[in-house]
């Protein structure tokens, strides 16, 4: 059980704002075990997939994340997602998943806030993406579904 956890790559330090991938952290959490339940999981600003779920029969109830401010366009080209369920996972459920963008420094285009296998036993309920500020966009909420969010 993961309960009320905020995993955060610092977007600032004692010298001010962080730029160019300083304070490197690849992922906030990588879940390899089966039957893991997360209540209130927040993961922010990491430089790869923020959450990588590899285990079966996972359950998330409330997830919040914000993409890193300081990445360049390669971040989108590399197809990173905030919440990624491994293609080999056969069962996973998530409720209340929110993915937010504020690409401060570059016009980053992320294909999807959530990436997951398209099977009947993998489901997401009440999931969304939000453009907070800055540049770039998120094209879809989950896989190729959901409208883009961007300025304007």
- As annotated, the active-site residues are 66
Is the C-alpha dihedral spanning 27, 78, 144, 70 positive or negative?
positive
User: Contact 101/134 with Cβ under 8 angstroms?
Assistant: yes
- Residues with Cβ within 8 Å of 33's Cβ and at least 6 positions away in sequence, in order, are 55
In angstroms, the CA 18 to CA 46 distance is 12
């Amino acid at each position: 059980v993961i309960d009320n956890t905020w995993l955060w790559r610092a977007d600032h330090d004692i010298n001010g704002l962080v730029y160019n991938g300083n304070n490197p952290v690849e992922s906030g959490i990588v879940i390899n075990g089966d039957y893991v339940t997360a209540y209130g999981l927040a993961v922010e600003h990491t430089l790869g997939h923020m959450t990588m779920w590899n285990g079966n029969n996972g359950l998330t109830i409330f997830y919040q994340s914000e993409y890193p401010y300081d990445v360049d366009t390669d971040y989108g080209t590399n197809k990173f997602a905030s919440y990624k369920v491994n293609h080999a996972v056969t069962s996973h459920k998530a409720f209340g998943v929110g993915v937010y963008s504020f690409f401060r420094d570059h016009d980053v285009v992320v294909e999807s806030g959530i990436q997951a296998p398209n099977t009947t036993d993998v489901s997401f309920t009440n999931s969304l993406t939000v453009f907070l500020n800055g540049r770039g966009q998120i094209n879809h909420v989950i896989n190729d579904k959901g409208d883009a969010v961007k300025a304007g």
